[in-house]
Amino acid sequence: MPGSVVVLGAGVTGLSAGWKLAESGLAVDVLEKRDHIGGTATTFQRGPYQLDLGPHKIYTQLPNVMKEIQGLLGEELQTIPKKSRIRILEKYFSYPFKPTALMSGVSPAVAFGFGMSYASMLAKRTISKEEDYSYEKYLTNRFGRKIYEAVFQGYAEKVWGVNPNGLDAELARIRVSIPSLTELIKRMFLGNKNKKEITASEFYYPKHGCIQLSNRMAQRITDNGGRIHLKTLPTEIRMDGHRVDTVIFEERGLRKPLTPSYLISSIHLGDVVKLFRPLPPEKVLQAASKLRYRALILVYLVVKKSRLFDDNWIFYPERDIVFNRISEQKGFSGLMVPEDKTVLCVEITCSDGDAQWNASDHALYGQVVADLEKVEILKRDEVAESFTVRLRNKYPLYDVGFSVHLNEVVKYLDSLDNFLTIGRQGLFNYNNMDHCLDMGFLASDHIVQSRTKEEWTESKKRFSQYQIVD
């Protein structure tokens, strides 16, 4: 078994790996460039308010992961009933939507259009089945064009900033939990015989924010002799052939070396490949540069009411609404915001450096409040305070052809003897917190058990089988 491990990144993935490695007796150093742990699955203090960087939930179909979370948090873990809505054609519907509710909630002409479009799609598929070559084709093949346009198209355009026909079908497979209109109708009359969940009736959440999960993992690391270095930047990964020899990092203005037996990275692929000395082949660097991300702007509004709605999330696919999704921190825990106030988190997806990203906080506030009034969530004079947080490189962008570039990078990294890359950023993988924990556990077990790279290739197949349940 190796003697020491360096972990790049103190998000949920890096911490879960570091925790299990430290408990196994290895010397662990976790390097984090930010001044906090948890990555974007963290909680910050703003006056009397404890707030997450966007809404996070704990839910998993992986029994081993749930057991570990419960062991960490115990009575601090709350069970929260789940409720979500989506606004379609200026009306609110439960989400995931039910076919009968959707049809009865729109005008007869629109409902007829939905039905005819779906019937036309089914008729075409009896003649020749069109391949799911894009996000758009994947969903029109399952819902018909009219429902796709009303429910999915606008949201995809807002979140990803491109024509959905230019998005890879893999994105729809991973992120759209509703299987098809046919399957929804079957479930209405026959029940869910295949037991594959598309939504959860409840989820779990720590009493004082998702940071509690990361804090407990960090405590396990330090209790077992590991070290977590904040505001620390890795600058070089020096190689000896196909092995990592030395990691150079900057801490408090000083350059320091670590010589680990193994290196785990959970940071962006585009960042980590630039650290190797010597550099990887040019084709690997070029492939990494073509992996693109979307940024996220969070506009927080402190509102002079105890609650605005009883949903956990509300989705807005309509193009004339600036935001994609809204949530209240009290929809996850009532202990994080004073009783007489509520804090609304408004999510706007954009690209780093575009007009929206560069807009002033004042301009964003004006857009957001105007649209919140339009959709009847609040009134302008109810807002007591507002502030904005901008997050770069938040969502991996699965444009058509992304897998070619991703495979080129991962192929190179997998050829290194004592290096593993894991997590949402480390594998350009669009997954949830429970999957990040699972990746960290698997990486730790791989190192502790001194398994081969061939065995790691086999273990990684699990990552592509993760199921997102909204």
Return the CATH number at 383: 3.90.660.20
What's the pLDDT score for residue 283? 97
What are the structure tokens assigned to 285, written together?
A: 């660097």
Query: Is residue 340 situated within a structural domain?
Result: yes
Residues 218, 159 share a domain: no
Query: Is residue 199 situated within a structural domain?
Result: no
Query: Is residue 21 situated within a structural domain?
Result: yes
Residues 283, 409 share a domain: yes
If residue 424 lies in a helix (H) or strand (E), which one and from where to where? helix 423-426
What's the pLDDT score for residue 131? 83
Residue 401 three-state SS: coil
Q: Summarize pLDDT for 82-92 with one digit per residue, the tens.
A: 999 999 999 99
Residues 345, 325 share a domain: yes
Beta carbons within 8 Å of 233's beta carbon, 6+ residues apart: 31, 33, 249, 250
Beta carbons within 8 Å of 132's beta carbon, 6+ residues apart: 138, 141, 169, 172, 173
What's the pLDDT score for residue 194? 55
Beta carbons within 8 Å of 178's beta carbon, 6+ residues apart: 96, 97, 184, 198
Q: In the chain, what is the greatest distance between 2 CA atoms, to the nearest angstrom? A: 70
Q: Which of these three, 374, 396, 418, is where a domain ends? A: 396
Query: Is residue 431 situated within a structural domain?
Result: yes
In sign, the C-alpha dihedral spanning 372, 376, 378, 379 is positive
Using CA atoms, how far apart are residues 284 and 405, in angstroms rounded to an integer?
Answer: 8
Residues 409, 285 share a domain: yes
Give the strands of the sheet with 342-350, arranged side by side: 91-94, 84-88, 313-315, 325-328, 342-350, 293-303, 383-396
Residues 304, 261 share a domain: no
Return the CATH number at 53: 3.50.50.60
What's the pLDDT score for residue 162? 87
Residues 383, 411 share a domain: no
In sign, the C-alpha dihedral spanning 208, 210, 214, 220 is positive
Work out how many domains the chain is built from and give that number: 3
What's the pLDDT score for residue 188? 56
For 88, half-sphere exposure in the C-beta direction (CA atoms, 13 angstrom radius) is: 26
> pTM higher than 0.95 for the full model?
no
Residues 404, 281 share a domain: yes
Assign 3-class secondary structure to 239-276.
EECCEEEEEEEEECCEEEEECCCEEEECCCHHHHHHHE
Residues 215, 73 share a domain: yes
Residues 183, 101 share a domain: yes
The low-confidence residues of the chain, meaning pLDDT below 50, are none
Using CA atoms, how far apart are residues 19 and 448, in angstroms rounded to an integer?
Answer: 12
- Cα-flanking dihedrals φ and ψ of residue 401, to 5°? 95, -5
Q: Tell me the residue range of the domain where 352 lies.
A: 293-396
Residues 178, 32 share a domain: no
Query: Is residue 224 situated within a structural domain?
Result: yes
Residues 285, 316 share a domain: no
What are the structure tokens assigned to 311, written together?
A: 């949903």
**DSSP tag of 380:** G
Q: Which of these three, 190, 214, 245, is where a domain ends? A: 190
Using CA atoms, how far apart are residues 34 and 27, in angstroms rounded to an integer?
Answer: 22
What's the pLDDT score for residue 401? 86
What's the pLDDT score for residue 277? 97
Using CA atoms, how far apart are residues 268 and 396, in angstroms rounded to an integer?
Answer: 10
**DSSP tag of 294:** E
Please give the sequence-ordered ranges of beta strands (E in DSSP) within 152-201, or none if there are none.
none
Using CA atoms, how far apart are residues 284 and 281, in angstroms rounded to an integer?
Answer: 5
Query: Is residue 382 situated within a structural domain?
Result: yes
Beta carbons within 8 Å of 409's beta carbon, 6+ residues apart: 269, 273, 284, 287, 288, 291
Beta carbons within 8 Å of 428's beta carbon, 6+ residues apart: 269, 291, 396, 402, 406
What's the pLDDT score for residue 124? 81
Query: Is residue 90 situated within a structural domain?
Result: no
Using CA atoms, how far apart are residues 249 and 423, in angstroms rounded to an integer?
Answer: 21
Rg of the chain (C-alpha set):
23
DSSP string, 441-470: HHHHHHHHTT--HHHHHHHGGGGGG-----
Query: Is residue 87 situated within a structural domain?
Result: no
Residues 183, 155 share a domain: yes
Classify burial at 119, counting beta carbons within 10 Å of its beta carbon; exposed 0-12, middle 13-18, buried 19 or more: exposed
C-beta of residue 261 within 8 angstroms of C-beta of residue 3: yes
Q: Which of these three, 190, 220, 235, is where a domain ends? A: 190
